[in-house]
Structure 1
Amino acid sequence: MLPADQVDQLPFWERSLADKVVWVTGAGRGLGRAIAAAVGRSGARLAVTARSAEQLATLGAELSDYPGEVRPFTADVSDAAAVREVAERIAEEWGTLDVLVNMAGISPTVVRSENLSDAAWHDVIDVNLSGTFYCCREAGRLMIANGGGSIVNVSSVHGSVGVPRMCAYAASKGGVEMLTKALAVEWADRGVRVNCLAPGYFRTAMTEPYLASSQGAKVRAAIPLGRVGETEELVGAALFLASDASSYVTGTTLLVDGGWTAQ
Structure 2
Amino acid sequence: MMLPADQVDQLPFWERSLADKVVWVTGAGRGLGRAIAAAVGRSGARLAVTARSAEQLATLGAELSDYPGEVRPFTADVSDAAAVREVAERIAEEWGTLDVLVNMAGISPTVVRSENLSDAAWHDVIDVNLSGTFYCCREAGRLMIANGGGSIVNVSSVHGSVGVPRMCAYAASKGGVEMLTKALAVEWADRGVRVNCLAPGYFRTAMTEPYLASSQGAKVRAAIPLGRVGETEELVGAALFLASDASSYVTGTTLLVDGGWTAQ
My pick for the range that moved more, 158-167 or 25-34, is 158-167
State the Cα deviation string for residues 41-60 of structure 1 (Å, max 9, x = none): 00000000000000000000
State the Cα deviation string for residues 97-122 of structure 1 (Å, max 9, x = none): 00000000000111111111111110
State the Cα deviation string for residues 157-187 of structure 1 (Å, max 9, x = none): 0000111111111000000000000000000
Q: What secondary structure is seen at the aligned counterpart in 2 of 1:71? A: strand
Count of paired positions: 263
My pick for the range that moved more, 202-211 or 152-161, is 202-211
The alpha-carbon distance between structure 1 residues 115 and 210, as it changes in their structure 2 partners (threshold 3 A), is closer
After TM superposition, give the deviation of residue 209 of structure 1 in Å.
Answer: 3.4
After TM superposition, give the deviation of residue 211 of structure 1 in Å.
Answer: 2.3
Answer yes or no: is the 8 Å Cα contact 2:32–2:205 preserved in 1.
yes
Answer yes or no: is the 8 Å Cα contact 2:108–2:207 preserved in 1.
no
After TM superposition, give the deviation of residue 210 of structure 1 in Å.
Answer: 2.9
Unaligned residue ranges in structure 2 (runs of 5+): none
Distance in 1, matches of 2:211 and 2:154, equals 25
Distance in 2, matches of 1:31 and 1:233, equals 10
Distance in 2, matches of 1:23 and 1:90, equals 8
Distance in 2, matches of 1:217 and 1:9, equals 38
Q: What secondary structure is seen at the aligned counterpart in 2 of 1:173? A: helix
CA RMSD of superposed structures (Å): 0.8
Q: What secondary structure is seen at the aligned counterpart in 1 of 2:236? A: helix
My pick for the range that moved more, 75-84 or 201-210, is 201-210
State the Cα deviation string for residues 174-204 of structure 1 (Å, max 9, x = none): 0000000000000000000000000000011
Q: What secondary structure is seen at the aligned counterpart in 2 of 1:151? A: strand
- After TM superposition, the score normalised by the length of structure 2 is 0.98
Q: What secondary structure is seen at the aligned counterpart in 1 of 2:210? A: helix
State the Cα deviation string for residues 67-95 of structure 1 (Å, max 9, x = none): 00000000000000000000000000000
2:120 matched residue in structure 1: 119
My pick for the range that moved more, 5-14 or 140-149, is 5-14
Distance in 2, matches of 1:176 and 1:231, equals 21
Identity of aligned residues (%): 100
Answer yes or no: is the 8 Å Cα contact 2:26–2:33 preserved in 1.
yes
Distance in 1, matches of 2:164 and 2:261, equals 13
Distance in 1, matches of 2:235 and 2:114, equals 30
After TM superposition, give the deviation of residue 212 of structure 1 in Å.
Answer: 3.3
Distance in 2, matches of 1:60 and 1:207, equals 24
After TM superposition, give the deviation of residue 242 of structure 1 in Å.
Answer: 0.1
Q: What secondary structure is seen at the aligned counterpart in 2 of 1:76? A: coil
Distance in 1, matches of 2:19 and 2:50, equals 20
Distance in 2, matches of 1:228 and 1:214, equals 15
My pick for the range that moved more, 173-182 or 156-165, is 156-165
2:245 matched residue in structure 1: 244
Q: What secondary structure is seen at the aligned counterpart in 2 of 1:24? A: strand
Q: What secondary structure is seen at the aligned counterpart in 2 of 1:5? A: helix
Unaligned residue ranges in structure 1 (runs of 5+): none
After TM superposition, give the deviation of residue 11 of structure 1 in Å.
Answer: 0.2
